[in-house]
């Protein structure tokens, strides 16, 4: 029997507010343990939460950017469960009236467009971090709690089970990441846990409507793990079903080193969270005017930007897709062309040399030693004929290690193209005299033979001759 995978994601995204969701503590990553804490986020007796308005603002923006309906009456609830990293033993979250619901995003996998529906987006507080003496809480003699992360604001973005493959799940998560980056609400640094996903996977015979039994993989924090976990799980469940067995509804962990999922706890032990409206916080009321103001304040989103690059700037859909996948990349691109650089050349250089060099040094585009202005200026030197594309690679390398403007590098290294017809004239004559064979071939009608002559001239000028000019001059000379 042929099976179809059904995949849904719950994405947790830490918001980049300066302070925590219910108190004034800083949210910064990597601080010394238990230094970003106060009575409120430590859950001491008697404390009360106060909502950080920026969190609500960010959540509404995320809702609008993913085509959700914003609930004008929303509230916080207490989700009760005991765990030592949760100081109050309840998480202040949202239950039946989340801030945003019923949205969607469009993804593109191998040229095929697909719409993924969002069930809801809600706000909640993050828990602290357990530091074990062993590897897990069970095999540790002692465990310590670092409360720095306690109360860092999170958005939980829940999708409908609309994805059918690991590639679709990845494309969906990439789209969510890019939207959150575009609207500037999360740093989305997966390696720092800013963005992580719980994945639900089930299988069903192709054509069947009802969903199969699902398993859940928690806290996946890289795209690679996301794909591997889903692929492994599909394969594992297929085997179980083909052997006539039943998939057990359970939570599984993904072992990234081994690339496999392992059973963690079955759903029968699932907890009753005993949700209760948070009595310490009044409901969150949002007016139509506020929602409209947030909507108007949204920046151009990845899909719109991609379309603009394709249709107005003439980029291929592939190039436009890659450049707009991250806001930083798209902003960089827009700056390059704002300098007056050609859009296609800009795209080629960004996806070629620039990406190659950044990857080699594991740098993000924000950390690029060559800023958009310098790259734009360099590209203009190509378009106006000052340097050839070949020479431009040398200029690019020089720019990577110095802060000099491309014009200065070209000048100092004497890389300016030879466009002086007088200077070229004598070189051309020398080459024609030294190469009678291609000259003969050209004259007898093999126009391609001119290439050999151009090659010789470029060699003699160390690539500095303007190839277009050389071609024109040669054609003129040989037709005489």
Partner 1 sequence: MALYDKPAHVLHEMLAKKEISSVELTEDVLARMDKVEKSIGAYITVTRDDALRTAEETDKKISSGEEISFLEGIPCGIKDNICTNGIKTTCASKILENFVPPYDATVITKLKQEKPVIIGKTNLDEFAMGGSTENSAFHATHNPWNIDCVPGGSSGGSAAAVASGSAIWALGSDTGGSIRQPASFCGVVGMKPTYGRVSRYGLVAYASSLDQIGPITRDVTDCANILNIISGHDDMDSTSSAADVPDYTKSLVADVKGLKIGMPKEYFIDGIDEDINNAVRKAIDELKAMGADVKEISLPHTAYAIATYYLIAPAEAATNLERYDGVSYGERVDGADVVDMMKNTRTQKFGDEVKRRIMIGNYALSAGYYDAYYLKALKVRTLIQRDYTEAFKDVDVIACPTAPTPAYKIGEMIDDPLKMYLQDVCTVPLNLAGLPGISVPCGYSSNGMPIGLQIIGRPLGEETVIRAAYAYEQSQNFHNDMAKIGGVDA
What six digits make up the tokens of 433? 């005299």
78 is an interface residue for partner 1 by CB under 8 A: yes
Would you say 93 and 281 are in contact if contact means Cβ atoms under 8 Å apart?
no
207 is an interface residue for partner 1 by CB under 8 A: no
HSE-up of residue 28 (Cα within 13 Å, Cβ side): 8
Binders in 367-426 for partner 1, by CB under 8 A: none
Stretch that binds partner 1, among 207-215, 280-288, 337-345, 411-419 (CB under 8 A): 280-288
Among 112, 191, 269, 272, binds partner 1 (CB under 8 A): 272
475 is an interface residue for partner 1 by CB under 8 A: no
C-beta closer to partner 1: residue 260 or 281: 281
429 is an interface residue for partner 1 by CB under 8 A: no
C-beta closer to partner 1: residue 132 or 464: 132
Map residues 131-150 to x or -, x wherever contact with partner 1 holds by CB under 8 A. ------xx----x-x-x---
Distance CA 178, CA 188 (A): 9
Distance CA 458, CA 466 (A): 8
What six digits make up the tokens of 357? 């060099």
451 is an interface residue for partner 1 by CB under 8 A: no
C-beta closer to partner 1: residue 49 or 376: 49
Residue 428: which residues within 8 A CB-CB, separation 6 or more? 457, 470, 473, 474, 477
User: Minimum distance from CB of 40 to partner 1 (Å)?
Assistant: 8
User: Minimum distance from CB of 198 to partner 1 (Å)?
Assistant: 21
User: Minimum distance from CB of 60 to partner 1 (Å)?
Assistant: 19
CA angle, 422 as apex, 418 and 426 as ends, to 5°? 95
Among 8, 63, 87, 438, binds partner 1 (CB under 8 A): 87
C-beta closer to partner 1: residue 48 or 293: 48
49 is an interface residue for partner 1 by CB under 8 A: yes
What six digits make up the tokens of 201? 């996977």
Sign for the CA dihedral angle at 302, 305, 310, 313 comes to negative
Distance CA 198, CA 189 (A): 16
327 is an interface residue for partner 1 by CB under 8 A: no
Torsion of CA 161, 162, 165, 168, to 10 degrees: -120
Name beta bridge partners: 124: 154
Distance CA 180, CA 11 (A): 11
Measure the N-to-C terminal CA separation of the chain; round to a whole number of Å. Answer: 75
C-beta closer to partner 1: residue 39 or 314: 39
Distance CA 1, CA 338 (A): 56
264 is an interface residue for partner 1 by CB under 8 A: no
C-beta closer to partner 1: residue 84 or 314: 84
Sign for the CA dihedral angle at 131, 133, 135, 141 comes to negative
Among 258, 274, 403, 459, binds partner 1 (CB under 8 A): 274
Q: What is the DSSP letter of 363?
A: -
Q: Is 434 exposed, middle or buried (CB count within 10 Å of its CB: 0-12, 13-18, 19+)?
A: exposed
82 is an interface residue for partner 1 by CB under 8 A: yes
User: Minimum distance from CB of 296 to partner 1 (Å)?
Assistant: 28
Distance CA 374, CA 407 (A): 9
CB neighbours of residue 66 within 10 Å: 23
User: Minimum distance from CB of 260 to partner 1 (Å)?
Assistant: 27
CA angle, 278 as apex, 275 and 284 as ends, to 5°? 115
C-beta closer to partner 1: residue 21 or 391: 21
Among 205, 245, 259, 282, binds partner 1 (CB under 8 A): 282
478 is an interface residue for partner 1 by CB under 8 A: no
Stretch that binds partner 1, among 64-72, 211-219, 273-281, 400-408 (CB under 8 A): 273-281
Would you say 426 and 401 are in contact if contact means Cβ atoms under 8 Å apart?
no
User: Minimum distance from CB of 249 to partner 1 (Å)?
Assistant: 17
80 is an interface residue for partner 1 by CB under 8 A: yes
281 is an interface residue for partner 1 by CB under 8 A: yes
What six digits make up the tokens of 401? 């290690």
C-beta closer to partner 1: residue 46 or 436: 46
Beta strands in 173-213 (DSSP E): 195-205
19 is an interface residue for partner 1 by CB under 8 A: no
Count residues contacting partner 1 (CB under 8 A)? 32
Among 276, 304, 338, 475, binds partner 1 (CB under 8 A): 276
Would you say 206 and 2 are in contact if contact means Cβ atoms under 8 Å apart?
yes
User: Minimum distance from CB of 139 to partner 1 (Å)?
Assistant: 10
39 is an interface residue for partner 1 by CB under 8 A: yes
- Binding residues for partner 1, rule: CB under 8 A, are 39, 42-51, 78, 80, 82, 84, 87-90, 137-138, 143, 145, 147, 272, 274-276, 279-282
């Amino acid at each position: 029997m042929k099976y179809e995978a059904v995949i849904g994601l719950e994405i947790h995204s830490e918001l980049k507010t300066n302070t925590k969701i219910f108190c004034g503590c800083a949210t910064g990553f990597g601080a010394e343990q238990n230094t970003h804490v106060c009575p409120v986020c430590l859950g001491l007796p008697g404390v009360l939460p106060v909502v950080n308005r920026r969190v609500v603002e960010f959540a509404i923006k995320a809702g609008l950017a993913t085509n959700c309906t914003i609930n004008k009456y929303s509230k916080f609830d207490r989700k009760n469960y005991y765990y030592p990293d949760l100081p109050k033993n309840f998480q202040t979250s949202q239950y039946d009236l989340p801030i945003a619901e019923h949205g969607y995003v469009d993804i593109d996998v191998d040229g095929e467009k697909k719409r993924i529906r969002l069930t809801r987006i809600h706000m909640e507080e993050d828990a602290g971090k357990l530091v074990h003496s062993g590897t897990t809480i069970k095999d540790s003699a002692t465990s310590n709690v670092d409360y720095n992360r306690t109360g860092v604001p999170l958005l939980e973005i829940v999708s409908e089970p609309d994805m059918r493959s690991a590639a679709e799940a990845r494309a969906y998560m990439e789209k969510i990441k890019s939207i959150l980056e575009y609207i500037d609400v999360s740093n989305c640094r997966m390696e720092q846990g800013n963005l992580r996903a719980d994945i639900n996977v089930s299988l069903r015979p192709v054509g069947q409507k009802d969903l199969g039994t699902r398993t859940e993989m928690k806290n996946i924090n890289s795209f690679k793990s996301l794909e591997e976990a889903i692929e492994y799980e599909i394969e594992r469940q297929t085997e179980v079903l083909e052997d006539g067995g039943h998939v057990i509804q359970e939570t599984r962990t993904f072992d990234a080193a081994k690339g496999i999922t392992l059973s963690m706890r079955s759903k029968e032990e699932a907890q009753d969270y005993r949700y209760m409206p948070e009595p310490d916080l009044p409901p969150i009321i949002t007016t139509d005017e506020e929602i409209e103001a947030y909507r108007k304040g949204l920046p151009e989103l990845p899909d719109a930007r991609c379309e603009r690059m394709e249709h107005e700037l003439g980029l291929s859909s592939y190039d436009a897709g890659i450049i707009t996948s991250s806001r930083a990349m798209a902003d960089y691109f827009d700056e390059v062309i704002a300098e007056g650089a050609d859009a296609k050349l800009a795209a080629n250089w960004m996806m070629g040399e620039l990406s190659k060099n950044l990857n080699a040094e594991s740098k993000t585009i924000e950390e690029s030693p060559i800023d958009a202005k310098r790259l734009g200026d360099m590209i203009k030197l190509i378009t106006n004929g000052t340097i050839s594309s070949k020479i431009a690679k040398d200029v690019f390398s020089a720019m990577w290690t110095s802060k000099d403007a491309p014009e200065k590098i070209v000048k100092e290294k004497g890389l300016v193209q030879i466009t002086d017809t007088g200077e070229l004239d004598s070189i051309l004559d020398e080459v024609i005299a030294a190469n009678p064979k291609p000259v003969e071939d050209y004259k007898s009608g093999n126009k391609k033979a001119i290439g050999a002559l151009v090659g010789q001239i470029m060699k003699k000028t160390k690539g500095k001759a303007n190839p277009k000019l050389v071609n024109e001059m040669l054609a003129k000379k040989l037709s005489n």
